[in-house]
Amino acid sequence: MPQDKSGVENLKDQLYSRHNQGAMHDVRAPLSHDETEVKKAWSDLPPREPKPFVPTHESRMSFATKFFIISVGFFLVALTVAAIAFFWGPNTISPNNIDVQIVAPSLVDGGKEAQFQIIINNKNPAPLQLADLIIDYPQGSRDPKDPTQPLLHERQSLGTVEAASQVKRTASAILYGSEGAQETLRATIEYTVQGSNAVFTRSGEVTVTIGSAPVSVTVNTPTEAIAGQSFPIDVVVRSNATSPVNSVVVQGQLPFGYSMTSSNPKATAGTLWQLGTLNPGDTQTIHLVGTIDGQDGDQRVFKFLVGQDSDPTDTTIKVPFLIMPATVTVTRPFIGGSISINGQSGARISATAGGAVQGTVTLQNNLSTAVQNVQVTLKLTGPMIDKASISAGTGFYRSSDNSIVWTPDADPTLAQMLAGSTVQLNFSFNTLPPGQGGVVYTNPQATLALSVAGQNPGDGSGTPQAVTAAATTQISFASQLSLAATTQYVSGPKPPVVDSATAYIVQWTVKNASNTIGNTLVSTVLPPYVTFVSGQTGVTYDTGSRTVTWSIGDVKPGVGYTTAALSSGFTVSLTPSSSQAGSAPALTGSALLSGTDRFAGVAVNASAQAPTTVDNVVAKQ
């Protein structure tokens, strides 16, 4: 049975059949003879209707673009999920889930070791890594292991603080402060978390009250002090300990403008007082007297620090206990009084021993009303004052207490001082020369203490009110120096002969009265006709400037008075010229002695005339 053939096979049979006689002819469409008009321009073409857009395979979105969009969307979703998991998920680490608690006594005795406990609770579901505990102690705290060392900060390593765990640490310090003072102790934990380099912190703090210190300090001082007028300060130190407190020291931090004139007991170094051992309940008082300068209404703060220090040479306290301040308000005196000496004024001035002193007391009424019946007293003390030479001017010298007194009876200008007016009172005295009566005073001083009193009837009460003022000036007398220059013949023609050389020794002698003189030098310049030959101990010669110098250094008090004078010299050669015949030529220029008075703090000097050939006039040949 024949099988059905496909159309292709049938076509093949027809093409290759022997019976095929041109059965397959090329059928072509007949040519058309219709004429068609060709347009010459695009504008001549008829408008075409737009065809609807049918997307093709090429215009559809590629697979890569679709994949990119899907990836971005997936990333955004993943990021959102991660953020939610980080901030609100079960493994979130928040500082708010960390508690830092300090367990401390509410009352801590100053100067004694205090114990503290720091408790850290990590309530986070994840650990805290590389954790450190930082403790900040109050100002002035000390290390219990070495109380001489301050302890302000301490760092303890905690390592890893596991999730939902608690860590406890202990600390100790010695706290200082005045009784009742409140101090703050702070603890901070520093940590990192897994996957982050950032450092996070969480802190806690506690306030403790300082109880009784080993010692207490009370400062008794007036609330107001008149400028330039002496006033007292009492520093009372009391032991509160139940056992002896050794090496108790008080250091005064005195304000600007304050001048301490005396203290009992005396300070050992600067403003440092060594009180030694205080037994339980013992009390010691430091009494100070001084003056303060300032404008009306200025406030000055005195601070007294008490502690322990066994080294008497220290100028600061190694182990401080507490510091006690006291405030003094400076007030302007009703009557201002000042003293000037030889044109100088101030609390401390200098003058030359053995000379005359010219002084002036100046008074000024600082009130807005007149002051009546002014009384002025100037007390002079000091061994160098020549009492027989005191001149009181319009006042009266009272030898019974070495005071000059001015009253309205002798000076009418004191009967009434109008508001803002001034009055000047003059006085003078001589100082004793060194060696007077065979006595040489070391570091001599004189103190001039001024006191002024008057009455103010203008306050409206009808009752006169007393007003006072005071001033004190201390004079430090500089030492008196003397220099002598002598000559001695050595060799050559005597008397000197023109154009011939004659040798002489020039001898210098120095005397010093009362104070040590530092950096002492004697110098002179040689004339052109004199040649320097040689010098004795300490004497040098500079060829360029032709200067001879004797470097002495320090000259002790009493040299030339209670001990031998200092002496040195040098040899010179004199060759006179014909123009000097019949004269006694000088062998040197005038000599100058200079130095610094270490007590008075001033420059001192003396001079000697140029030595000559000592009455041996130059002869002609």
Task: Confirm whether 320 is domain-assigned.
Answer: yes
* Statement to judge: residues 318 and 385 lie in one domain: no
pTM above 0.85? no
Q: What is the pLDDT of residue 34?
A: 52
- Residue scoring higher pLDDT (462 or 401): 401
Q: Which two tokens stand for residue 491?
A: 């060799």
Domain count for the chain, please give it: 4
Tell me how far apart the alpha carbons of residues 225 and 230 are, in angstroms, rounded to a whole number: 8
Q: What is the pLDDT of residue 1?
A: 44
371-388: per-residue pLDDT in tens?
Answer: 889 999 999 998 889 999
Task: Confirm whether 5 is domain-assigned.
Answer: no
Closest CA to 253 of 219, 229, 230, 210: 219
pLDDT of 467 higher than 80: no
- Domain housing 418: 339-478
Q: Which residues pair with 206 in a beta bridge?
A: 185
The SS3 call for residue 442 is coil
How sure is the predictor about 308, in pLDDT bands with cuts at 50, 70 and 90?
confident
Q: What is the pLDDT of residue 17?
A: 58
Boundary (domain end) residue, out of 449, 478, 507: 478
352-366: per-residue pLDDT in tens?
Answer: 888 899 999 999 888
pLDDT of 302 higher than 90: yes
525-557: per-residue pLDDT in tens?
Answer: 999 999 999 999 999 999 999 999 999 999 998
Q: Which two tokens stand for residue 612?
A: 């000559």
Q: Which of 78-82, 105-109, 219-223 has the lowest mean pLDDT?
A: 78-82
Question: Residues 231-245: what's their mean pLDDT?
Answer: 87
Q: Which two tokens stand for residue 423?
A: 């009055």
584-603: per-residue pLDDT in tens?
Answer: 899 999 999 999 998 888 89
* Statement to judge: residues 242 and 319 lie in one domain: yes
pLDDT of 494 higher than 70: yes
pLDDT of 111 higher than 50: yes
Torsion of CA 156, 162, 166, 171, to 10 degrees: 0
pLDDT of 58 higher than 50: no
Cβ-proximal residues to 370 (8 Å cutoff; 6+ apart), any chain: 416, 417, 418, 419, 456, 457, 458
Q: What is the pLDDT of residue 353?
A: 82
3-state SS of 230-241? Answer: CEEEEEEEEECC
How sure is the predictor about 566, in pLDDT bands with cuts at 50, 70 and 90?
very high
* Statement to judge: residues 182 and 103 lie in one domain: yes
Residue 289 sits in a domain whose CATH number is 2.60.40.10
Boundary (domain end) residue, out of 302, 331, 360: 331
Q: Which of 295-304, 307-316, 522-531 has the highest mean pLDDT?
A: 522-531
* Statement to judge: residues 492 and 557 lie in one domain: yes
239-285: per-residue pLDDT in tens?
Answer: 887 778 888 899 999 999 898 988 999 888 778 999 988 898 899 99
Q: What is the DSSP string of 50-66?
A: PPPP---TTTSPPHHHH
